[in-house]
Chain A
């Protein structure tokens, strides 16, 4: 019966259609699994057994009435920065420990209108700031293949939940690689959609000009299904353009291939100084297999890559410091007690409520936006961002997609990146795409000799999700990566 936990959306849907099992039975199995995993890997901040069972009962009714969709009764999990009315939403922070959201994010409404069942809210770095979940105020999540290692972050809990069969797919968010990195570290598929492809309404923001909704799943096909249900303009998020949505999974089949696809290999990635030899070895095999399957590999150059990280660490802290200003101990969330003035209440609530990283980014952002420094830091970084975007646009005139490692390193041990700058460097290969706003995906590329997963990343232009899914699907079927054995 445990094999049910690792079936695809389509396979589970067929079993529900055939009445081989009910939505209630399915949800119970996933909740039990999630509880077992939770004890060892801390993938969740809040499990939602009662709400999920009520949703499952409703999903069975929908099936009885014949009104089901492919997602009806399918258990999923959401990162704890998605608001769900009546459910605690912490964003991994102590400052929101008791925050019960009064309304629901558009992404959640879209999935649940289609009938998906939310089994819980997943663990994350505080306010999505981090690459390992070590910055969660609720303790870190752990890697499903080796609990002594990090699962990646910030959406680490979502990736662990999917990898362990605690849910079928999960929602994360990305600002600098926060789904692709944990997907790579947990051996699953992580999709970073184009900026504005999916509504951000109801998600606790990090950097508003960069944040995106990012689903993760165990296959490219499942990620494509979920992206299709989530995508599209939303009057409640003014940054969602009315760009047509392709039938993503409808274009994935036995004929989907890499033949004739031009894949750009950026030398700044594959020849990077810090690239781990085990990751490089896996990537060389990935490139060879893609080439053997008919893809044309083209060496390309993105010379500004090294400036993406410094630009990112001006832009994101600046926008974050602005977004975090609302956490003031007055209107919602944590409040320090025993203060005597308004100023003291605000300053102490923020000191006691925020962990180290939100404080660090608030400080950095406040500095970068302050009078006298604004143009030298924020203004300059915005211009470098323009050049980075143009560099991607130019390279996409030559190739259909870029192929790179998702991360320069395999999963690392807890505490290894105790210096903040070392932690920031973990996202070196993912964050340039976030600044450019293009679409990208991480799929399992292989396994190191130590039995740890390595992610392969494909990058395509803005709103090219359809082509991205096709290339990733074809590559997934060429590579046929078997995940390492689970520790739990």
Chain B
């Protein structure tokens, strides 16, 4: 399957990745090439075949609905890109 530039840009928007022009061109070629390979799957007769979501036969596994507290607040804060006065900082405005 061939993808064009507009399709690649639309996919990038859905994937929330900003691509520059060179990247868009590269993905047009690469993704089309990979999709051509994937199109081989059309040769397989899948009529009446159930899809595989899980390979070991488990279904609807649940665990007790018990809250487990995580007390190391600082460790969680440290995973954020930016914090200020122990609070999470989201946006840095353009100067």
Interface residue ranges, A against B (CB under 8 Å): 85-86, 99-103, 194-196, 209, 235, 238-239, 241, 304, 306-307, 309-311, 313-314, 321, 325, 328-335, 337-340, 342-348, 350-351, 354, 359-360, 362-364, 366-367, 370, 377, 379-387, 389, 419-421, 424, 436-437, 462
Contacts and interface: CB of A to CB of B under 8 A. Distances in A.
Contact of B15 (A85, A363, A420): A363
A367 B11 contact: yes
A437 B37 CA distance: 23
A385 B52 contact: yes
A360 B11 CA distance: 11
Contacts of B76: 102
A244 to B, nearest CB: 14
B44 A387 contact: yes
A346 B16 contact: yes
Contacts of A381: 41
B31 A364 contact: yes
10 contacts: A86-B75, A239-B58, A309-B37, A310-B40, A332-B79, A333-B79, A338-B95, A360-B31, A383-B46, A420-B34
A351 B23 CA distance: 10
4 A-B pairs closest in CB distance: A437-B55, A382-B51, A335-B81, A102-B75
B31 A363 contact: yes
A386 B50 contact: yes
B93 A340 contact: yes
B31 to A, nearest CB: 6
Nearest to B91: A345
Nearest to B82: A335
Contact of A311 (B8, B41, B62, B82): B41
Contacts of B50: 383, 386
Contact of A195 (B42, B56, B72): B56
B87 interface: no
A58 B17 CA distance: 46
Contacts of A362: 15, 17
A58 to B, nearest CB: 21
Given A102-B70, A351-B17, 13 more contacts: A86-B75, A209-B55, A235-B63, A241-B58, A331-B79, A347-B18, A354-B17, A363-B15, A364-B31, A366-B11, A380-B41, A380-B46, A384-B46
B3 to A, nearest CB: 8
Of B12, B16, B23, B72, most buried by chain A (CB within 10 Å of CB) is B16
Given A86-B75, A196-B56, A387-B44, A350 B17 contact: yes
A100 B78 contact: yes
Nearest to B94: A340
B67 interface: no
Nearest to B47: A383
Contact of A99 (B14, B79, B93, B95): B79
Contacts of A334: 81
B81 A310 contact: no
Nearest to A235: B63
A394 to B, nearest CB: 15
B12 to A, nearest CB: 7
Given A102-B72, A366-B11, A421 B55 contact: no
A195 B41 contact: no
B2 interface: no
Contact of B44 (A103, A331, A384): A384
A442 B13 CA distance: 41
Contacts of A85: 75
Interface string B32-68: 0111011111111010011111111110011100000
Contacts of A421: 33-34, 37
Contacts of B95: 338
A347 B75 contact: no
Contact of A347 (B8, B16, B62, B79): B16
Given A332-B80, A333-B81, A389 B46 contact: no
A386 B80 contact: no
A385 B63 CA distance: 28
A279 B65 CA distance: 53
A167 B56 CA distance: 33
A87 B12 CA distance: 33
Given A363-B17, A421-B33, A196 B58 contact: yes
A310 B38 contact: yes
A157 B85 CA distance: 39
A340 B94 CA distance: 6
Contacts of A314: 38, 41
Contacts of A420: 30, 33-34
